[in-house]
Amino acid sequence: MSTANTTPSTAAEDSPLLISTEGAVRVLTLNRPQALNAFTTGLLGQLRVALDEAAHDETVRAVLITGAGRAFCAGQDLSDPHIKPEFDEHAGEVDAHKKPKAKDIGNLLDHYYIPLALRLRSMPVPTVCAVNGVAAGAGANFALGCDLVLAGQSASFIQAFSKIGLVPDCGGTWLLTRLVGRARAMQLALLGDKLPAADAQAWGLIARCVADAELQSEAMATAQKLAKMPTKALVQTREALDASMDLEFEDALKLEARLQSQLGYAHDYLEGAAAFLTKRQPTFKDR
């Protein structure tokens, strides 16, 4: 990734989340490479705060999310004390006579994953994910919640939930069925097998699979391109596409008209149309 115009990371190098800014692009890097960037409550909390900050910072016009090391994110850190069941670590297995004390996983979803997924999906700027390696469980679904997902050719996507007796979360059930249809969603979710990035692109699960060496520069170029575009129109496009799945055709037409009538009064449309008609480059600024 180019370092031109990059502000230094605002977090310590050993922080689970690295934050930097390149031009109008806020870059968030999951940084627990020793555990394949698995989500702890600490990382989940920092991620949500960082997204909040990007949302409220008028100078930010796109967010790029990626991972440090060989993985993007292995999902929930299964050793996190918030969810780790109490069992006999020496035996390494569950004793049928001594039922391990389980913790309410739903609590973790309510307090961390749901707010995070909603924050991501309602960002007032476009989001790009550069999936640099394996994305498993909630790590996969967090990535898929971004607006544009690019993955390196050695990356893969795993709905790891079924292998540990859970259902897809972090929006997985909603996202998978919409992205790849029920048959493929069922295959991914039931079998929990690894889907290589090239297949993920062929299936329409992600936007693009690129060479590993080009992933970060391609993702940054995509984010920079989006940052120069009319932000409000991009975000309302997300809103309309998401809503369309649950709308009748006529209602989708009406939603388009409502959004268009709002955008038609905004600076960016006037600027875009004027720039086209006077054959110059537009400068968009609405957010």
What residues between 3 and 42 interact with ligand LHQ by CB under 6 A?
35-36, 38
CA distances from 194 to 34, 90, 138, 268 (A): 20, 30, 14, 42
- The minimum distance between CB 109 and ligand LHQ, in angstroms, equals 6
Comparison of 67 and 282: residue with beta carbon closer to ligand LHQ: 67
User: Which residues between 80 and 99 bind ligand LHQ (CB under 6 A)?
Assistant: 83
**Site string (137-176) toward ligand LHQ, x via CB under 6 A:** xx-------------------x-xx--x-x--x-------
Q: Is residue 108 a contact point for ligand LHQ (CB under 6 A)?
A: yes
| 71-73, strands of its sheet edge to edge | 71-73, 134-136, 156-158, 194-196
The kind and range of the H/E element at 30 are strand 25-30
CB of 177 to ligand LHQ, least distance (A): 18
Nearer of residues 18 and 158 to ligand LHQ, judged by Cβ: 158
Q: What are phi and psi of 70, to 5 degrees?
A: -90, -5
Q: Other C-beta atoms within 10 Å of 236: how many?
A: 18
Beta strands in 97-161 (DSSP E): 127-131, 134-136, 148-152, 156-158
Q: How many positions of this chain bind ligand LHQ (CB under 6 A)?
A: 23
Instruction: Name which of 164 and 241 has its Cβ closer to ligand LHQ.
Output: 164
Report which secondary-structure segment, H or E, holds 18. Answer: strand 17-22
Cβ distance to ligand LHQ smaller for residue 82 or 228: 82
Amino acid found at 76: Q
Query: Which two tokens mark 234?
Result: 């991009």
Binding site for ligand LHQ (CB under 6 A): 35-36, 38, 74-79, 83, 105, 108-109, 134, 136-138, 158, 160-161, 164, 166, 169
